[in-house]
Amino acid sequence: MKYFYKIIALSLALSALTATQSVMAAEGDPHWYVGVNYATFNATNVANSRVDLETSGAQIRLGYDFNNWFGLESSIARSQTSNTKNNLTYKVGYLGYFGPRVTLRLENFVLYGTAGSIISSDKACDDSTGSSVCTTKEGVNGAAGFGIDMFGSDNTALNLSVMYYGAEQADNNYSLSLGITWYFDSPKYAPRY
């Protein structure tokens, strides 16, 4: 969990630095992007049981880059599968994320970091008593992550990303996702010099 807080602090510091640079030298045309990803959701200590579980599902991302360095990103994700281990079943109902995005835009890559808030719903069912006892909890927590877009054409990129987030019924949650990002309104790279 200590790494989670370090990532958030670093991302917020980079956001402040980038926002200052953006005002001083805003190069690059603003543009929208949308992404569709396959994601795996990993949770440890589900429902205080010391059980680690993994589920998978879909993620849709929508963002706006103001320039080469700074943007905003939102996403919604949901697991399509549940996982059972030691009579405990876990499923991510939904994850809704919103926060700033700090980017380093290169000719064929976009490296980025993000930190913000996540609204989550997760469900845990305990089958150890013979009858299934399920609890669904919702909450607002912090989230931070990083990723890379690798361009195959001017406006289409392969996306690989990691997001660390808080959830109500598990500790040390993270998601790994792989998908495609489409950029609109401008080329993939705007020269900075």
Query: Is residue 192 assigned to a domain?
Result: no
Query: Is residue 94 assigned to a domain?
Result: yes
More confident residue, 164 or 122: 164
| Residue 190 confidence (pLDDT) | 47
Count of structural domains within the chain: 1
Residue 42 CA neighbour count, 13 Å, CB half: 8
| Residue 33 confidence (pLDDT) | 92
Beta-sheet strands, E only, within 45-155: 53-65, 70-79, 83-85, 88-105, 109-126, 133-151
Query: Is residue 191 assigned to a domain?
Result: no
| Residue 9 confidence (pLDDT) | 54
| Residue 166 confidence (pLDDT) | 77
Query: Is residue 125 assigned to a domain?
Result: yes
Query: 163-184 burial by CB neighbour count: b if 16+ within 10 A, else e?
Result: bbbbbbbbebbbbbbebebebe
CATH number of the domain where residue 141 is located: 2.40.160.20
For the chain, the first-to-last Cα distance in angstroms comes to 40
Query: Is residue 162 assigned to a domain?
Result: yes
Phi, psi of 4 (to 5 degrees): -60, -50
Confidence grade of residue 186 (pLDDT, cut at 50, 70, 90): low
Query: Is residue 107 assigned to a domain?
Result: yes
187: tokens are 């080329």
Span 121-132, pLDDT tens digits: 877 777 766 667
Report in angstroms the alpha-carbon separations of 165 from 6, 62, 78, 86, 149. 13, 18, 14, 24, 21
Query: Is residue 170 assigned to a domain?
Result: yes
Query: Is residue 188 assigned to a domain?
Result: no
Domain around 53: 2-22+30-183
Span 64-97, pLDDT tens digits: 988 888 999 999 988 876 667 777 777 777 888 9
Cα–Cα distance, 69 to 66 (Å, whole number): 8
| Residue 8 confidence (pLDDT) | 58
Model confidence at 187: pLDDT above 70: no
